[in-house]
Amino acid sequence: EAKNTAIMEEREVTILTYNARGLSRELLTLIDLTARQRIDIIAVQEVNTRVDVIDLNIPGYSLFVIPSTIW
- Give residue 13's pLDDT: 92
In the chain, what are the domain boundaries? Answer: 6-63
Phi, psi for residue 50 in degrees, rounded to 5: -75, 145
Residue segments in the chain with a per-residue pLDDT below the cut of 50: 71
**Dist CA 30 CA 50 (whole Å):** 19
Taking the model in full, what pTM does it have?
Answer: 0.63
Which strand (E) or helix (H) includes residue 43?
strand 41-45
Question: What torsion, rounded to 10 degrees, do the Cα atoms 16, 71, 64, 39 define?
Answer: 0
Q: How far is CA 9 from the centre of its chain?
A: 22
User: pLDDT tens digits for 32-52?
Assistant: 888 898 899 988 887 776 655
